[in-house]
Amino acid sequence: MAKTLQVQDIPRVNQMAAVLAKNGLGHLLHLVGLTSPLSAGDTKEDSTTPFARRLRQAMIDLGPTYVKMGQVLSVRPDILPQDVLIEFQTLQDNVPPMPFSDVKDVVESELRLSLEEVFTEFEEHCLGSASIAQVHRARLVDGREVAVKLQRKGIERTIRSDTHILYSLAQILEHNHIILPGLYTPTAIIREFDIAIRQELDFVYEAKNAERLAQHFNDNPDIIIPGVIHPWSTRRVLVLDRILGKPLKEMIGILKGEEANRLAHQIMEATYQQVFEFGFFHADPHPGNLFVTPEGKLAYLDFGIAGTLSRAMQDTITAAFTAMVFRDAEALAMTVYRAGGTQGRIDLREFIDETERMMMKYYGASLDDLAETATLIEVVQLSMRFRINLPSEFAVLARTMALIEGELRQLLPGSNIVEEVKPYAKRLMTRRFSPERVAHDVARMMVVAQGQLRDLPTQFNQVLMDLEGGEITLITKDPDAAKMREEIRAAVLRLSLAALASTVSLGSTIFIVMAVWSTSIWAMLFFGLIGISAMAMGIFLFGALGIHVLFAGLFNLRVWRSRLFSVLYFFSWRRDRD
């Protein structure tokens, strides 16, 4: 341990060992080489309380860093097993608020002004206190009511120290060849936490998330995102417009009938927009972070955790979502398989069958009849069973959707989940295959095809040079090996014809679509003529390709060249004899 842990870390490690022993987790101490001299208390394992619950209590006893670690990892079903995931989702910050003298020191040191110069009112009693920050109600000198979120004094230093210890312990686990459940190594798990906590400790990052989401929802009057007050927002202090309303967790038991139905569809619509339109989503929409305003609007709070989806990942989520809604287990399984990575071969047939069994329970089932495990989380867990490593954003989205499903379960008891989301799936399919999106995809494919076609001769020549230079060694007993180069040339010719024909055909489609959309008769004629010409050329190239594929064996150039030389030699020899 002396090689990885610093001397100043030993008291904290000793405290961690004592907490683990107290919670019946003493067997974990030996995995990292912590023995009785360092660990206080009984290390006997408690068999009466579930392991996940004891682990959650240990996180609470270890303090703010570990509570936050549990909260951060609770959004990662690809890292934690299901029982631990459920326990960590119930972790609540139970931290006493900072003294007001510390609050004043933090605000004034960050803003470099006295409290009175910025605020006319600043309530000493906080609205909420958490492991990293606490929130106070205040009023700016210009009269605006705001919420001030400020970082706890010294918390960043504490988290940095604890994270260093966690990295050291993770390295010890790996050195001892300890394999954890799932696909992540101990160091990789700590790295994921480290990345997430660095973002949460930087309120500038949270402010940017809020502004980005506000910009996306600018045209949706039913969604409220609090504005960021920039002159007074820094890395450790975040000043936002105050939102009037009640948290969703309080409204769930109050709203009934049409009001509950309206709010549920607001949540579904906002989620649809974030995932499938914006590619950017609030990743922690639990009922405490969603507010309902007096006007019935939905407001989002706390933007420390957000997810970003690339266009490719959006397409993957689209395919997975529509496959689930329209009961296509094979399409869902293949979508997940292509999106992830595997270290070896898997039994695809078994994976598809397991996916089918998983999906069966969602058809005809009401939201309140379903288990607590949400749909996408089950997909992630099934993928882990088959050693398919999905991208982290997929797992974060799965946890987000689990929170949404839990809220819908309470707002719409008795509703059929598939019927509720089917209109969104149909809308999504219409949008996915709209002329604009198809034209965009075609243009992107043309650019890719053009690059591949341009590089193909160079790559082929490089292969031939390597073959001729002896840099590639082929060991074969095939008696027809001499024909290999001729066959490679024929294959490259066919590939080139196919790529060229595809590019020309795609181009003709774009020009024809542009002709249809044109408002000018001259533009319509111009684009139409180019499109039809390109289509004719594409048909010609495909025809040439077909002829080459069908009759290449009959018209082997090498054979015909040999025959031609034989005939010429025969007549030349006869003429010489005469």
Query: Is position 227 within any domain?
Result: no
Same domain as 495, residue 526 = yes
What is the pLDDT averaged over residues 48-71?
86
Predicted confidence (pLDDT) at residue 41 exceeds the cutoff of 50? no
Query: Is position 246 within any domain?
Result: no
Same domain as 396, residue 468 = no
Given 198, 228, 252, which residue is the final one in a domain?
198
Rounded-to-integer distance, Cα 38 and Cα 260, Å:
55
Phi, psi dihedral angles at 401 (to 5 degrees) = -65, -30
Query: Is position 351 within any domain?
Result: yes
Encoded tokens for 564: 């031609």
Give tens-digit pLDDT for 11-29: 888 888 888 888 888 777 7
Give tens-digit pLDDT for 101-159: 999 999 999 999 999 999 999 999 999 888 889 999 999 999 999 999 999 998 999 89
Query: Is position 318 within any domain?
Result: yes
Same domain as 527, residue 400 = no
pTM confidence score: 0.69
Predicted confidence (pLDDT) at residue 97 exceeds the cutoff of 80? yes
Same domain as 554, residue 406 = no
Predicted confidence (pLDDT) at residue 54 exceeds the cutoff of 80? yes
Same domain as 161, residue 75 = yes
Domain extent, residue 490, equals 435-474+481-565
DSSP string, 384-433: HHTTEE--HHHHHHHHHHHHHHHHHHHHSTT-BHHHHHHHHHHHHHHHHT
Give tens-digit pLDDT for 482-496: 556 666 666 666 677
Same domain as 449, residue 332 = no
Same domain as 466, residue 336 = no
Query: Is position 34 within any domain?
Result: yes
Same domain as 176, residue 33 = yes
Same domain as 399, residue 489 = no
DSSP string, 533-558: HHHHHHHHHHHHHHHHHHHTTTT-HH
- pLDDT confidence of residue 3: 44
Same domain as 455, residue 506 = yes
Same domain as 455, residue 406 = no
Query: Is position 119 within any domain?
Result: no
Instruction: State how many domains the chain has.
Output: 3
**Beta bridge partner(s), residue 391:** none
Query: Is position 292 within any domain?
Result: no
Which range of 27-31, 279-283, 390-394, 398-402 scores highest in mean pLDDT? It is 279-283
Query: Is position 141 within any domain?
Result: no
Same domain as 81, residue 164 = yes
